[in-house]
Amino acid sequence: MPVTVADVETALAQEVEQLPGKYADRDTLLYAVAIGMGRDPMDAKELEYVCETVGNRVVPTAATVLSRPVRAASGGGFSLMSKMNFAMMLHGEQRLAIHQPLPPAADTLITNRTTGVYDKGEGKGALVTSETEVKLADGSPLYTVGSTLFFRADGGFGGSSEGAPVPHALPDRAPDAVCEMPGRVDQAMVYALCGDRNPLHRDPEFAKRAGFDRPILHGLCSYGIACHAVLKTMLDYDQTKMTGFDVRFSSPVFPGETQVVEMWQDGNVISFRVKIKERDVVSINNGKCTIK
Catalytic residue numbers read: 196, 201
* Bridging pattern class, strands 126-136 and 18-23: unpaired
Strand, helix or coil at 11?
Answer: helix
Count of helices and strands (H, E) across the chain? 6, 10
The torsion angles phi and psi of 151, rounded to 5 degrees, stand at -100, 100
What does each C-alpha distance from 33 to 205, 207, 245 come to in angstroms?
27, 24, 19
Determine whether 226 is exposed, middle or buried from the number of CB atoms within 10 Å of its CB (0-12, 13-18, 19+): buried
What does each C-alpha distance from 172 to 176, 264, 272 come to in angstroms?
11, 10, 12
The 8-class DSSP code of residue 257 comes to P
Strand, helix or coil at 264?
Answer: strand
Asked whether the beta carbons of 29 and 194 are under 8 A apart, the reply is no
What is the rounded distance in angstroms from the CA atom of residue 172 to the CA atom of residue 265? 12
What is the rounded distance in angstroms from the CA atom of residue 64 to the CA atom of residue 144? 10
Asked whether the beta carbons of 232 and 44 are under 8 A apart, the reply is no
Question: CB within 8 A of 144, min separation 6: which ones?
Answer: 96, 97, 99, 131, 132, 133, 134
Distance between first and last Cα of the chain: 47
